[in-house]
Structure 1
Amino acid sequence: MKKTIEQIAGWLDIKTNLKGIEVTGVSINTRTLKPGDLFIPFRGENANGHKYVRYAIEAGAAAALWQRDEPEPPSDLPLLIVDDCEKALQEMARAYRNELKATVIGITGSNGKTSTKDLVASVLKPYYKVQKTQGNFNNELGLPLTILSLDEDTKYVVLEMGMSGFGQIQFLSELARPDYAVITNIGEAHMQDLGSREGIAEAKFEIVAGLEQHGKLFYDGDEPLLLPFVEDFTQAVSFGFGPDNELSVTDIKATEDGSSFLVNGIIDAKFAIPVLGEHQVKNTLPAILIALEAGLTEEEIRRSLKNAALTDMRMQLVPADNGAIFINDAYNAAPTSVKAALNFIRETTMKETKWAVLGDMLELGEHEQRFHEELASSIGPELEGVCLFGPRMKWLYDKLATSYEGKLLWSEDNYGPIIDLLKKNVGKETAVLVKGSRGMALEKVIEPFIGQ
């Protein structure tokens, strides 16, 4: 973004006496601020960004916003006075989006948003200029910041859209105005706020609210809860494991390099990705569909998928110093994704012995005990041992204690016992799945086994 301060004032419909100032980005954090940024001070429970405005200008910020009800705006600094800094950020992003010629892809879903975002970006990037959501900048603050960070000549923009309640995806969609929208799946995350999986489906479908008139929706056709929403939506394309989907997948095989698979329907072809897990193969299907929309050939798609790069901790292969393999899937966890990961580790033949380390699944609401206990059905004799971490995993431990015959350990808040047990049992012929919600930080279990 390269705009004059007068243009930004025009976006915000405010008057300014400032002239001759060029703004080349926005920042809400003085630690990551770059020269030329417009600094946006937010007020939170524990901090007030207005206290750092002078420091931001001294650090190179071109100008700053200042909220009207904040007292004593410094008269010697280049400031734009606004009624609400958060709304001003969003209006700036809305105005900039309206000027962009880029094709925008919006992605939501209970699980797999980030992986799908990475796969879509990876398949397009060798052939077009692509930018995507960085980290977890996928909410009402993060998404506008992402839009305002876009280069004006970007061809494709891949935006992740997260939520915790009704209306949030609608707001993000109407702000971003996607040309293509993707719903990866409907899981159980945010059950405590949305009440049911039906509620989650309704909230995720809000992504079509801002879909451009010519736009298309790609959705998980294996999810029956989405069917009532898509039956009257003419520009909807289904993908999934089921043969009735418009793009389906079969013959999934785990390899030393990741996964190979066949797709059928809109295109019949064989592809491979450097990632493990059937659920990651499914996340690849909307990437293939969008690549076809972009005009890529089958061979171009195959070549770019083969070199796809996913954010760490998504079925990430981590070789241990002793020859073991850790499968780091510890970025997040919900019943659907945990069962998918357990299914993979049970069925894989990449190593002779297999272990699972599972951490609490968070934000599941009043049924969280049942969701944890139900994981027992996905744990079988193929696993030599299971380690459980977190207070909620005690429910699964009690369930397994009467049925599971392998090595079993539960630790409420200490990684030490799990690490000690793994050190005694994990060798060069062992694969270890590590899966838990982000708040459980299960990657700490892996750290003692690498880089020694």
Structure 2
Amino acid sequence: MIKRSVMELINMIDVQNDCASFADTLITGVSFNTRTIEKGNLFIPLKGETRDGHEFVQLAFNQGAAVSLWQRDVPNPPKNVPLLIVEDTLVAMQQLAQSYRKELSLKVVAVTGSNGKTTTKDMLAELLSLKYKVQKTSGNFNNHLGLPLTILGLEDDTEVAVLEMGMNHFGEIDLLTNIANPDAAVITNIGDAHLQELGSREGIAKAKMEILNGLKSNGLFVFPGEEPLITNALKNIPNNWKVRTFGKHDSNDVYPTSLKMTESGSVFEINESNDIFQMPVLGEYNVMNALAAMLVASEWGVPFEQMNKAFANLKLTTMRMEMSDGINGSHVLNDAYNASPTSMKAVIELVSSLEGYTKKIVVLGDMLELGPNEAEYHLEIGSYLNPETIDLVYTYGELGKLIAKAAEENFGSARVFAFENKNELISHLKSHLVNNALVVVKASRGMKLEEVVQSITE
């Protein structure tokens, strides 16, 4: 983590007061939360919607902070404590992260995409750890607060940082990529998440392509080669990056030559290697995520023949394709972290392809932030469900009822159950869980369907 004297800090950010009396004070790490602050930290008080972090500056010092930032327009700063007065504490934190990143002799991989960015981040970290000391974004710390905090937590001897970049609006990834200044950039896909804010898939592609604004000259750009919104946009961007593509077909630099799902995960081969790859993660779309990660790792000197070692140790961030034992001998696949029409269809395809289960049940909840066409998207998901490969359909939420409505046309009302009360859904679902049944749970994060998972797992 960052370890700098105050004198060094004032050369990294715009400080507006005289710090000569404590110029030699050393800070170790940063925090903007007094509940997790550690001795020697630089405390960064941030203004939130309901609370102002400046209210807790004195408490931060009481708990061991060495120095604190203070925003110039906030009155009544505490006296007799070392403060760095700045124009804006959030901007100062971002500026500090940007400066610190430039001082570190490491490589940065930036990952974004409508779906799969966290999974790809996790895969990248495992693969690159075969050769380098790697740190990665913790959880989903992928925004204007989390990314700077991740960078400021990097150790001096870290060789590769894998940073996830999320967004809801135009300009967000532009900010993040210019802080991180990546050596490699990965776009996993262009889906339909955040249509409410970005308007169209073209808008989503434009926002994701902002990741290139901070990519170093001669850097590596990895993306799905079958996505015309990226390939067409790239034609109009002057660059000297190394461009590599992944996808399903042989038009890409890396593509699968065979692929199958087993009880324990995915097994696949690729055109660039004679090895058979196995990873404990289900889904063709996760194989695509793996191909993106493998491309970066290969370009950075990790041999394909070593990659199975990393896949064997792969642990994904929670609620992303987590398989657990359920009650009555059932199996529960938890993919309840988030959902969009693209990712929902991918999970439905996965469930349909899996064999060997006595019963297959999907529990689907509302997909949020889809804009004015949200009803149409939910009806489309209901129609996408196949009664020949799925036995029962459960839905949760107001929009989930539209999934159920469309599904009933193919399944009939006896196999489709719509709920707006989660406890009632859980009670009804439990009555259908038998030995070797498979339950897949998918919804937007706001629906909190992990509560269903918790209720039906052992």
Partner of 1:158: 162
Are the structure 2 counterparts of residues 230 and 218 from structure 1 closer, same or farther at C-alpha, using a change threshold of 3 Å? Answer: same
Matched, 1:263 2:264: no
Partner of 1:104: 108
Partner of 1:85: 89
Matched, 1:402 2:409: yes
Query: Which piece of structure 1 moves more, 178-187 or 284-293?
Result: 284-293
SS in structure 1 at match of 2:37: coil
How far apart, in 2, do the equivalents of 1:259 and 1:168 lie? Answer: 34
SS in structure 1 at match of 2:411: coil
Q: Is the 8 A contact 2:256 2:268 kept in 1?
A: yes
Matched, 1:281 2:284: no
- Structure 1 residue runs without a partner (length 5+): none
Q: Is the 8 A contact 2:130 2:302 kept in 1?
A: no
**Runs of 4+ deviating beyond 6 Å:** none
> Pairwise CA RMSD of aligned residues?
1.4
Q: Is the 8 A contact 2:383 2:410 kept in 1?
A: no
How far apart, in 2, do the equivalents of 1:69 and 1:95 lie? Answer: 24
SS in structure 1 at match of 2:233: helix
Which amino acid is 1:8 matched to? L
Which amino acid is 1:144 matched to? P
Are the structure 2 counterparts of residues 410 and 321 from structure 1 closer, same or farther at C-alpha, using a change threshold of 3 Å? Answer: closer
How far apart, in 2, do the equivalents of 1:256 and 1:164 lie? Answer: 35
How far apart, in 1, do the equivalents of 2:222 and 2:328 lie? Answer: 43
Q: Is the 8 A contact 2:135 2:160 kept in 1?
A: yes
Partner of 1:3: 4
Deviation per CA, 1:145-182: give whole Å up to 9, x if none.
11111001101100000111111111111111100000
Matched, 1:420 2:423: no
1:336-375 mapped onto 2 (5 Å cutoff): 336-375=342-381
How far apart, in 2, do the equivalents of 1:287 and 1:449 lie? Answer: 33
The TM-score, its normalising length taken from structure 2, stands at 0.95
Partner of 2:129: 125
Partner of 2:49: 45
How far apart, in 2, do the equivalents of 1:249 and 1:92 lie? Answer: 42
The TM-score, its normalising length taken from structure 1, stands at 0.96
Partner of 2:340: 334
Which amino acid is 2:205 matched to? A
How far apart, in 2, do the equivalents of 1:220 and 1:183 lie? Answer: 7
Q: Is the 8 A contact 1:386 1:409 kept in 2?
A: yes
SS in structure 2 at match of 1:10: coil
Matched, 1:431 2:435: no
Matched, 1:390 2:397: yes
SS in structure 1 at match of 2:11: helix
Q: Is the 8 A contact 1:131 1:154 kept in 2?
A: yes
One of 62, 72, 77 as aligned partner of 1:73: 77
How far apart, in 2, do the equivalents of 1:7 and 1:260 lie? Answer: 51
Q: After TM superposition, give the deviation of residue 302 of structure 1 in Å.
A: 1.8
- Structure 2 residue runs without a partner (length 5+): none
Q: Is the 8 A contact 2:127 2:297 kept in 1?
A: yes
SS in structure 2 at match of 1:401: helix
Partner of 1:16: 19
Q: After TM superposition, give the deviation of residue 428 of structure 1 in Å.
A: 1.4
Partner of 1:136: 140
Q: Percent same amino acid at aligned positions?
A: 45
Q: Is the 8 A contact 2:382 2:402 kept in 1?
A: no
Q: After TM superposition, give the deviation of residue 268 of structure 1 in Å.
A: 4.9
Q: After TM superposition, give the deviation of residue 366 of structure 1 in Å.
A: 0.9
Q: After TM superposition, give the deviation of residue 376 of structure 1 in Å.
A: 2.3
1:437-448 mapped onto 2 (5 Å cutoff): 437-448=444-455
| Number of aligned residue pairs | 449
Which amino acid is 1:401 matched to? E
Deviation per CA, 1:361-389: give whole Å up to 9, x if none.
01111111111111123211211101000
1:201-350 mapped onto 2 (5 Å cutoff): 201-231=205-235, 235-264=242-271, 266-350=272-356
Are the structure 2 counterparts of residues 197 and 268 from structure 1 closer, same or farther at C-alpha, using a change threshold of 3 Å? Answer: farther
How far apart, in 2, do the equivalents of 1:323 and 1:250 lie? Answer: 35
Q: Is the 8 A contact 1:387 1:409 kept in 2?
A: yes
Q: Is the 8 A contact 2:125 2:136 kept in 1?
A: yes
How far apart, in 2, do the equivalents of 1:137 and 1:184 lie? Answer: 18
Q: Is the 8 A contact 1:164 1:193 kept in 2?
A: yes
